[in-house]
Amino acid sequence: MKLLTLNTHAWLENDQLEKINILARTIAEKDYDLIAFQEVNQSIFSKKVHGDIKKDNYLLVLIEYLKKYTDQSYYYTWSNSHIGYGRYDEGIAILSKYPLKKIDSFYCTETTTIFSIESRKIIGVTIEYLGENIEFYSCHINLPNSKKENQLENIKNIINRTSENNLKFFLGDFNTDAINNEQDYNNILNLGLKDTYNMARKKDSGVTVEKNIDGWKNSFSEKRLDYIFTNKEILVEESNVIFNGINKDIVSDHYGLEVTIQIK
């Protein structure tokens, strides 16, 4: 199984449509089974096309580009977390080759108003793979020093969202730097999570941000902020950073993280 997570920084990138095209072409080439996206934006002023999804929703545009490169049909879900940059519905999303047996959109934070960036919506889905129900969560977490939210309590809310003993994956931007803030990173692992990067037989540096970005304005060092965590020991064949200018062109202010795992 191939997984990808990417904070898209949607509609805030230069040459945005070309970067969407690069992403679509790579998704078709790599044939990912499931992708978790964060900062999947749409204009607050755009027209709704179905449900809460609007015409310029980044995910919808990406899916249209995908049709140029593959006949693969995808199942998807998107949910708004809060208003970003004063002009976007800033949401999270999951794209899957497999039917979504269950979709669970919920706030992991105590703050639940769209007018606060402390509000963090999570999307959880359940798919069936080789006869096994597996849960996946797309996560965009507050920083460890958030003034209004307890990061670890927020993550606990995701881990404990269901009581089933399913294999679970938690993908996304956890806003915690394993390279320069090792204690904050270990605090997350101590919740019972396992980092697929650590379990990978083959891996690279794991660096997903190389400069200062929103939320990390004063940090110019290399950072590992994006993760694919799991709740069980599994066989991880490979963990790679992608869209970093070396392994595919850059498409966002975050690089993507892809893993190849074996289920059973």
pLDDT tops 70 at residue 67: yes
Provide the CATH number for the domain around residue 73.
3.60.10.10
pTM: 0.96
Write out pLDDT tens, residues 32-45: 999 999 999 999 99
Task: Give the integer Cα–Cα distance in Å for 194 and 52.
Answer: 34
219 by Cβ neighbours in 10 Å (0-12 / 13-18 / 19+) ranks as: middle
What are the tokens at 85?
């940059």
Q: Which structural domain, as residue segments, surrounds residue 208?
A: 2-262
Q: What percent of the chain has pLDDT over 70?
A: 97
How many domains does the chain divide into?
Answer: 1
pLDDT tens-digit map of 202-255: 999 999 998 755 665 665 578 999 999 999 999 999 999 999 999 999 999 999
